[in-house]
Amino acid sequence: MLNNMQTYTFFALLLLTVNSFAQAGTFNACNTNLIIKNITSKLSTISDYKLNIAVKFGSNNITSKIIGKTPNKLKITQKIHTTPPHNYIAVFDGKYQWVESKQNNHTQIVKLNISELTKKNRPYDTGYYLMGTGLLNGEDYIGTLTTLLNTYDFTSICNNNIIILSGIINTNKFKYYALNIKSKTQNIKNIKKYIEKFNKINIVTKKGNVGIYGYKFLSDNNNILFEAVFNNIRLNSKISNSEFLYIPPKGVNVIDITKQLILSNH
């Protein structure tokens, strides 16, 4: 298992290798549409998954362990590396979303009734999200990659097994996604801010493999705004439903915020 420093070192070396190949002219253009079609097709065959995600944005460092099972189960165990650290557990068990927040000796737990807040095809889009997981709001691992591939216009370069997908946001596709697909009503100003800030993306993957190493949102001058690195990916390992059983710790009050979110979403 790679630790976080090893993971970032690997990803940095990989991108340095890519830059070296590009400067040497050894990278070739490849069939971008076919690459995306193959990745999307393989994503559709995933029934369950486990992976770790390491996120960096600004001065923030966040690590998450993700476990998911189609069609509606997801568990996120997250650590925000502050002093003191802030720990979260978010569980979608098919009926409720549970979120446990812990810092120092204080624990808070909220729950939400999923059926009252989500659409059937978007069971994680309750409007109550953990930030900095590397997953898009309201999406699991499969949904995140599918949405990124569908809302950016990509070009690609290939060398041996390494593929670099470089994308520019498709404004019309992203607006449609934000206004018509996401469960929570979106503010036009926020959509414009997202389009302006996260208009460029790089995704690193391999030929013949759904294993995407991660992605980076880049500024216009190619500074890294947000980086998510994926590692220890395991697919279709027949995860038991018991992995998504959440039992609140004794003595901690659970707050149901379903009604509050219904009101705020409208």
pLDDT tens-digit series, residues 167-183: 999 999 999 999 888 87
Whether residue 114 has pLDDT greater than 80: yes
pLDDT value of residue 62: 97
Whether residue 26 has pLDDT greater than 80: no
Q: Name the pairing type of β-strands 214-218 and 96-103.
A: unpaired
Handedness of CA 16, 20, 21, 25 (dihedral sign): positive
Domain borders along the chain are 4-265
Alpha-carbon gap, residue 125 to 186, rounded angstroms: 12
For residue 20, name the pLDDT band (cuts at 50, 70, 90): very low
- Share of residues in the chain with pLDDT > 90 (%): 67
> CB within 8 A of 219, min separation 6: which ones?
200, 225
Alpha-carbon gap, residue 163 to 160, rounded angstroms: 8
| CATH number of this structure's domain 4-265, picked from the four choices 3.90.1150.10, 2.50.20.10, 3.40.50.720, 3.40.190.10 | 2.50.20.10
Handedness of CA 262, 250, 68, 233 (dihedral sign): positive
Q: Which of 36-40, 65-69, 207-211 has the lowest mean pLDDT?
A: 207-211
Across 212-220, average pLDDT: 91
**Contact (CB, 8 A) for 261 and 126:** yes
